Amino acid sequence: MRFAHLRRADSPRPALAVVEDADAILVSDLLSDAPATLQELIEGGTATLDAIRSALPSSGAARHPLGDFGYASAVIGPPAVLAVGLNYAAHSSELGLKTDSAPTVFTLWPNSLTGHEQTTSWPRSLSESVDYEAELGVLIGAPAKDVSADDALAHVWGYTVVNDITARDIQFAEAQWSRCKSFDGFTPTGPFAVTADEVPDPQDLHIWTVVDGRTVQDASTGQMVRSVATLIAHLSQSLTLLPGTLISTGSPGGAGYSRDPQIFLRDRSTVTVGIDGLGELTTHCRITG
Domains, the chain, in order of start with CATH, read 2-71 (no CATH), 81-288 (3.90.850.10)
Contact (Cβ atoms closer than 8 angstroms) between residue 179 and residue 188: no
Q: Which segments of the chain are extended strands (E)?
A: 2-7, 15-20, 23-26, 64-65, 70-71, 81-85, 104-107, 113-114, 118-123, 130-131, 134-140, 156-163, 166-167, 187-188, 193-195, 206-211, 214-220, 246-248, 270-275, 279-288
Contact (Cβ atoms closer than 8 angstroms) between residue 248 and residue 152: no
pLDDT at position 98 is: 64
- Residues 110-136 have a mean pLDDT of 97
pLDDT at position 89 is: 80
Distance CA 226, CA 3 (A): 27
Under the banding of pLDDT at 50, 70 and 90, the label for residue 184 is: very high
pLDDT at position 97 is: 67
Under the banding of pLDDT at 50, 70 and 90, the label for residue 12 is: confident
What percentage of the chain exceeds 90 in pLDDT?
A: 89
Distance CA 122, CA 186 (A): 9
- Residues 168-196 have a mean pLDDT of 96
Residue 225 exposed, middle or buried by CB count within 10 Å (0-12, 13-18, 19+): middle
Under the banding of pLDDT at 50, 70 and 90, the label for residue 247 is: very high
pLDDT-wise least confident of 47-51, 86-90, 209-213, 277-281: 86-90
Distance CA 156, CA 171 (A): 30
Distance CA 183, CA 111 (A): 7
Res. 252: pLDDT tops 70: yes
Cα–Cα–Cα angle for 285, 172, 210, rounded to 5 degrees: 35
Smallest Cα–Cα separation from 45: which of 35, 36, 54?
35
Smallest Cα–Cα separation from 279: which of 134, 80, 167?
134
Distance CA 151, CA 223 (A): 21
Res. 92: pLDDT tops 70: no
Q: Residue 253: how many CB atoms within 10 A of its CB? A: 18
pLDDT at position 9 is: 80
Res. 180: pLDDT tops 70: yes
Under the banding of pLDDT at 50, 70 and 90, the label for residue 143 is: very high
pLDDT-wise least confident of 41-55, 96-110, 159-173, 192-206: 96-110
